[in-house]
């Protein structure tokens, strides 16, 4: 569950009969009759729907990841600026720095 938006993403992969399907494919099995073909057609449609949901969720998470990375870069730049302000060299008078870097 996302604490930010309350979104949850779940797939019940236990319902998939992957091993059984693989066994049937390897054995040369073919769906017989309209009713059996209709069952496999429904399984295929359901799997496509789940795949579409996975792809959509991945895109959403990638967008969120890019947003967080942008915030991270901004914070890093902000911290670098603060470190520069706190640098001991900043305690030296500007005139002295000008003399040092003139040469």
Q: 3-state DSSP call for residue 86?
A: helix
Measured CA to CA, the distance from residue 90 to residue 79 in angstroms comes to 16
Query: Would you kindly state where each structural domain of the chain is located, as residue ranges?
Result: 13-86
Residues 6+ apart with CB under 8 A from 57: 9
Each of the 103 residues of the chain gets a pLDDT tens digit; together they read 576 777 788 887 777 888 899 999 999 999 999 999 999 999 999 999 999 999 999 999 999 999 999 999 999 999 999 999 999 988 999 998 888 888 7
Cβ contact 50:11 at 8 Å = yes
pLDDT digits (tens, 9 = 90+) for 87-99: 998 899 999 888 8
Class of residue 60 by CB neighbours under 10 A (exposed 0-12, middle 13-18, buried 19+): middle
- Cα 5 versus chain centre, distance: 15
pLDDT of residue 1: 59
């Amino acid at each position: 569950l996302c604490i930010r938006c309350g979104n949850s993403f779940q797939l019940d992969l236990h319902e998939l009969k992957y091993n059984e399907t693989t066994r049937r494919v390897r054995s040369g099995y073919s769906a017989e009759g309209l009713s059996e073909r209709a069952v496999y057609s429904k399984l295929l449609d359901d799997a496509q729907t789940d795949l579409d949901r996975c792809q959509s969720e991945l895109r959403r998470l990638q967008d969120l990841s890019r947003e967080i990375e942008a915030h991270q870069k901004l914070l890093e730049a902000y911290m670098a600026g603060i470190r520069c302000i706190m640098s001991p060299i900043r305690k030296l008078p500007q005139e002295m720095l000008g003399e040092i870097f003139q040469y």
